[in-house]
Amino acid sequence: MSRALAVFTLLAVTMTAGPVFAEEVGCVSTNIRMLGLANDKVCIDSFRDPKVDGVVCHVSRAKTGGVKGAIGVAEDTSDASIACRQIGPITIKGDLKDGEDVFRENRSWLFKKLQVVRFFDKPNNTLVYLSYSDKLVDGSPKNAISTIPIMPWATH
């Protein structure tokens, strides 16, 4: 009975929403699927860091189409790219913890996630955002970073 409870708890935690909701910017088709099924795509989303005002990040990643993609059981690849920029005065709200989640998205119906975590490089006064994919059994070393030096924001 305790093993079933552990599996249920793991599923519940895995299926919960990540720390931030993203807004879709757009998608392009990369592979046309026959029979009117969903195409494979590369999609771009934007999100803001919940603890740092004045920062926006854009993440691009592959989405698998076809029958499995259409019904939500496809496992997407671990490929992703990230770009974060200062878009206003930077205000840090609370303590920043290195490796703290700022974005998470399921990449398969069960155990694979795309994550973005933040680090604060204090000696260089720079925010560092790392995107990577993890999987319960076999993670991927594919990753990307984006850095934002914290600079004064000019006001006119």
pLDDT tens track for 37-72: 778 889 999 999 999 999 999 999 888 777 666 666
**CA 98 from chain center: how many Å?**
16
CB 83 within 8 A of CB 146: yes
Tokens representing residue 105 in the block: 């998205």
Task: Report the alpha-carbon distance of residue 78 to residue 132 in Å, rounded.
Answer: 7
- Confidence band of 140 (pLDDT split at 50, 70, 90): confident
Can you give the pLDDT at residue 5?
Answer: 39
pLDDT for position 53: 96
Q: What is the reported pTM?
A: 0.76
